[in-house]
């Protein structure tokens, strides 16, 4: 059995900003209306979301016998100025950073990743975006924040400016967050809805649970849409990669120090992208989230 206090302490020591632990019970449709979202076609071209639906709802299908989901938060700096690039992509590539920290946690906790083992033999699984599990809904379940009207996780310390990672494990923990109820902390606020340039923030008529229509989302189109041209009605609001419009107006502002800040080298690299040729673009984006798009997409998005 893992001591929950030790887990949270180690998470902070390896570089995370917060940690919570939830029981590995299945998410409910009220928490995560995945099937309703898919039925509406609001996943756009994200066809991978149609796979492993049950697994996305229940981590015990990802790791047989799972008892705990250890959720970790890594805060990143919100944009200090407009730059056409979503804030999370302006710094180092977070997938590798988060996975490295999660591996360190496993080692400190005396757990084995068994990465090469068959899924049926796996006892611990590291997750960060590329695994069929909903990072933000598990973070909410673990008491690290709530899902706002913009469908993003809102944390009390860093607002929406966070990246997430998890360890799904068969180990029991000494203490869990007791399945917090999703509350309407957004109340009557609709700033994010009004700020979205394409009206992508919506909901299903029968539940009123906030959902994102990716077919209208500038972030989806600038990153995931590989077409030569974008739909003419999609407004990018100056963004060539991602979009921060809904986050920038969210009243849950950052009120604590961000551990990682943009360096002068980061700022110089970002500044060079405006006039970069293909070779320079590849070099400048090699170790950032910007490497998810090709140079031709970058040029297309700078319309």
Q: Identify the pLDDT of residue 197.
A: 96
Q: Which of 41, 39, 44, 33 is nearest to 220 (CA)?
A: 44
Number of other CB atoms surrounding residue 169 within 10 Å = 27
pLDDT score, position 208 = 73
Catalytic residue among 25, 58, 129, 266: 129
Q: Which domain holds residue 261?
A: 1-303
pLDDT at 239: 95
Position 268 scores a pLDDT of 85
Place of tokens 């611990």: 124
Could you tell me the CA-to-CA distances from 94 to 1, 71, 109, 260 in Å, in that order? 30, 15, 22, 11
- pLDDT score recorded for residue 95: 92
Predicted local confidence at residue 188, as pLDDT = 86
CB environment 111-136: b (16+ within 10 A), e (fewer): bebeeeeeeeebbbbbbbeebbbbbb
Number of domains in the chain: 1
Farthest-apart Cα atoms in the chain, separation: 55
pLDDT for 257: 56
Q: Which residues are CB-contacts of 277 (< 8 A; sequence separation ≥ 6)?
A: none
Q: Is 244 a catalytic residue?
A: no
Q: What's the whole-model pTM score?
A: 0.92
Q: Quick one: pLDDT at residue 121? A: 56
- For 206-258, the DSSP string reads TT--EEE-GGG-HHHHHHT--SSS--TT---TT-SB---HHHHT-S----S--
| Res 256: pLDDT | 53
User: Which residues in the chain come in under a pLDDT of 50?
Assistant: none
Q: What are 162's strand-pairing partners?
A: 75
């Amino acid at each position: 059995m893992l001591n929950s206090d030790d887990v949270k302490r180690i998470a902070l020591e390896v570089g995370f900003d917060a940690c919570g632990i939830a029981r590995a019970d299945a998410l409910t449709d009220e928490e995560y209306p995945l099937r309703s979202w898919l039925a509406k076609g609001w996943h756009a071209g994200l066809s991978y979301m149609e796979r492993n639906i049950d697994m996305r709802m229940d981590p015990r299908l990802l790791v047989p016998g799972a008892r705990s989901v250890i959720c970790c938060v890594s805060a990143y700096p919100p944009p200090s100025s407009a730059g056409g690039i979503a804030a999370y992509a302006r710094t180092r590539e977070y997938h590798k950073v988060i996975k490295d920290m999660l591996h360190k946690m496993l080692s400190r906790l005396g757990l084995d990743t068994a990465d090469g083992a068959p899924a049926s033999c796996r006892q611990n699984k590291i997750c960060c975006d590329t695994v069929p599990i909903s990072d933000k809904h598990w973070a909410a379940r673990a008491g690290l924040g709530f899902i706002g009207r913009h469908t993003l996780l809102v944390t009390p310390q860093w607002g929406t400016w966070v990246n997430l990672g998890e360890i799904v494990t068969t180990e029991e923990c000494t203490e869990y967050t007791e399945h917090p109820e999703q509350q309407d902390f957004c109340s009557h606020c609709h700033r994010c809805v009004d700020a979205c340039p394409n009206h992508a923030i919506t909901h299903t008529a029968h539940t009123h649970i906030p959902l994102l229509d990716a077919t209208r989302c500038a972030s989806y189109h600038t990153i995931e849409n590989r077409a030569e041209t974008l739909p003419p009605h999609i407004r990018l609001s100056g963004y060539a990669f991602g979009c921060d419009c809904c986050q920038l107006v969210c009243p849950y502002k950052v009120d604590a120090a961000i551990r990682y800040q943009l360096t002068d080298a980061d700022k110089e690299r970002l500044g060079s992208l405006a006039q970069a040729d293909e070779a320079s673009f590849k070099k400048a984006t090699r170790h950032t989230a910007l490497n998810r798009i090709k140079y031709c997409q970058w040029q297309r998005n700078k319309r």
